[in-house]
A = this chain, B = another copy of it.
Amino acid sequence: MDLRKLRYFSVLAEEKHFGRAAQRLSLSQPPLSLAIRQLEEEIGARLFERTSRNVSLTAAGLALQREAEVLLRRTEETRLLVKAIAEGKEGRLRLGFGSSMLYRGFPKILDAFQAASPDIELSVQELNSTEQIEALQRDEIDLGFIHGREVPSRLEGFRYHAEPFVACVPRDHPCAGTRSLRLSRLKDDEFVLFSRNVSPDYYQSIIATCLSAGFSPRVRHQVRHWLSVVSFVANGLGVALVPSTLKASNMAGAVFVSIREAKILSETWCVWKAGGPQRPALDTLIQAARKQSLAMN
């Protein structure tokens, strides 16, 4: 049961045809038949049902198909990883982050990691959630911090942070003095929203939240940074729903009021690619993120 036979098996499992599979493997058909028969003997299980007219996977074969792909992919990733280490290219971890992470302990994670692993170079790039997911799957970054409600498929991760949305209103707004408000009191205000292109999840969940409170928000301004949102509000250009962290921005003219409706959360997830080779440096970084996550909750 070596990788050669698993590779043959994997192609045959896709093609379900000895001739075509052999062709794809640059091989003639007899050795493929032989290899599959040997594989079946080594495992002690029939993997394909063949008639002289038809080839199909057995239940055991189906299970092996899933596993063979994992094993083959991971083997190849291991080769690349080991080669990269030998060439000194693995002393580097690439992080993706949205700008909102700057208010959520991102610098502390970097500091903690650099203190623990001073030899590893960190390179960070600002990407929105969608871009980060794509970058992870293309192996262009090693770790990301995204917004959403769950770990996207093919990734691993944990919920890094969750905080309630609060209303952000100008100082002279009727609600500015209250401790908390129902969302419906903002139904006639103009909303400053985080740009849909930059973070569809934020945009989506704010709209959905207003809808479930019984009104459709009047959207006037769309901006690209949270501080800009607060700044717009402070200048009387509208109201907004923002993660409560933004209270710390201390901008004159903007007042933060908590929302009666429970459980409206802004969630940040720390994610990385699933099923790859072990990477101690990445593990250390994830550990630093977990620690920071605990410190904030």
Contacts and interface: CB of A to CB of B under 8 A. Distances in A.
Contact of A71 (B42, B45, B47, B74): B74
A219 interface: no
A67 B3 contact: no
Interface string A232-273: 000000000000000000000000000000000000000000
B74 A43 contact: no
Interface in A63-119: 63-64, 66-68, 70-71, 74-75, 78-79, 81-83, 85-87, 90
Give this chain's copy count: 2
B79 A1 contact: yes
Contact of A75 (B46, B58, B71, B87): B71
B278 A86 contact: no
A25 interface: no
A162 to B, nearest CB: 14
Nearest to A60: B86
Contacts of A47: 82
Interface in A12-65: 42-47, 58-61, 63-64
Contact of A67 (B46, B64, B86, B277): B277
Contact of A1 (B1, B71, B75): B75
Contacts of A85: 45, 59-60, 63
Nearest to A80: B43
Contacts of A61: 82
A222 to B, nearest CB: 34
A66 B2 CA distance: 19
Contacts of A87: 45
A86 B1 contact: no
A4 B90 CA distance: 26
A79 B86 CA distance: 32
Contacts of A60: 82-83, 85-86
A90 B74 CA distance: 25
A61 B75 CA distance: 15
Contacts of A81: 63, 67
A280 to B, nearest CB: 8
The 3 lowest CB-CB distance pairs between A and B, nearest first, are: A45-B86, A60-B86, A67-B78
8 contacts: A1-B75, A43-B79, A43-B82, A43-B83, A60-B82, A60-B85, A67-B74, A70-B278
Given A1-B75, A47-B82, 19 more contacts: A3-B3, A42-B79, A45-B82, A45-B83, A46-B86, A60-B85, A60-B86, A63-B81, A63-B82, A64-B78, A64-B82, A66-B278, A67-B81, A67-B82, A67-B277, A70-B277, A71-B71, A71-B74, A71-B75
Interface of A: 1-4, 42-47, 58-61, 63-64, 66-68, 70-71, 74-75, 78-79, 81-83, 85-87, 90, 277-278
